[in-house]
Amino acid sequence: MKKPFAAAADENKEAIAALLLTELKDNRDLLEIGSGTGQHAVYFSKLMPHLTWHCSDQSHQIAGIQLWLESAGLKNTAAVFVLDVSQDWPQQSYDAAYAANIAHIMHWSQIEDLFLGLSTVLKQGACFYLYGPFSFDGQFSSQSNHDFDHFLRQQDPDSGLRDKNNLDELALKNGLIAATSWALPANNHILSWKKT
């Protein structure tokens, strides 16, 4: 099996890293949800040796992530494990959580499960960082995001770009308050929420 590669994971990795480097400077254990190929895990954990990066994803992604982790040979990446947000969550608690490009793929019920799970694994004061395209106050920030949302909903009516207001409301129900929103290139953002 060849290492899988996702072009979307390569896009903006420098901009995401610049932000995470500041945000995660005092954190030790980070849970990544929906690690995909494992490209982000390898790229970010190499830049943050003080942090242990815990990859997770659905079972069909695990072998590819393992290939990326093994070939990088980093000391600060933990063994990848299966985590479907609608199933069992780990018993461990984390100083931070990160996910990229998952909210527009997941159904809303899965996003509900995501925030419920995060409320059980994040330590008090820990943040969840979510990268991807979003809408704000019901508005798309670009025509390309509008078109992407349309494309996604044609493939799967339960998918599509999520609105920050809806995510903030859901987060709050699960004890996470909206923290910051950073605009990144190509009409993407990182949103963060802090566990109270």
Ligand X SMILES: C[S@@+](CC[C@H](N)C(=O)[O-])C[C@H]1O[C@@H](n2cnc3c(N)ncnc32)[C@H](O)[C@@H]1O
DSSP string, 128-149: EEEEE-EEETTEESSHHHHHHH
38 binds ligand X per the rule CB under 6 A: no
Looking at the Cβ atoms of 81 and 179, the one nearer to ligand X is 81
Looking at the Cβ atoms of 58 and 187, the one nearer to ligand X is 58
16 binds ligand X per the rule CB under 6 A: no
Q: How far apart are CA 33 and CA 23, in angstroms?
A: 18
First CA to last CA across the chain, in angstroms? Answer: 43
Looking at the Cβ atoms of 152 and 179, the one nearer to ligand X is 152
Residue 93 Cβ vs ligand X, minimum distance, rounded to whole Å = 19
36 binds ligand X per the rule CB under 6 A: yes
34 binds ligand X per the rule CB under 6 A: yes
Tokens 């979510």 label which residue? 130
Secondary structure letter of residue 21 according to DSSP:
H
Of the residues 55, 69, 85, 190, which one makes contact with ligand X according to CB under 6 A: 85
SS3 breakdown of the chain: % helix, strand, coil, rounded to 5?
40, 30, 35
Asked if 194 contacts 125 with a C-beta cutoff of 8 angstroms, the reply is yes
15 binds ligand X per the rule CB under 6 A: no
133 binds ligand X per the rule CB under 6 A: no
160 binds ligand X per the rule CB under 6 A: no
Looking at the Cβ atoms of 31 and 102, the one nearer to ligand X is 102
Nearest residue (beta carbon) to ligand X: 36
Q: How far apart are CA 108 and CA 154, in angstroms?
A: 16
86 binds ligand X per the rule CB under 6 A: yes
Q: How far apart are CA 161 and CA 7, in angstroms?
A: 19
Write the interaction track for ligand X spanning residues 45-64; mark x where CB under 6 A is met and - where it is not.
Answer: ------------xx--x---
111 binds ligand X per the rule CB under 6 A: no
Q: How far apart are CA 153 and CA 163, in angstroms?
A: 15
Helix residue ranges per DSSP H, the chain: 7-10, 13-23, 39-47, 62-72, 108-121, 143-155, 164-173
Binding site for ligand X (CB under 6 A): 6, 8-9, 33-37, 40, 57-58, 61, 83-86, 100-102, 105-106, 110
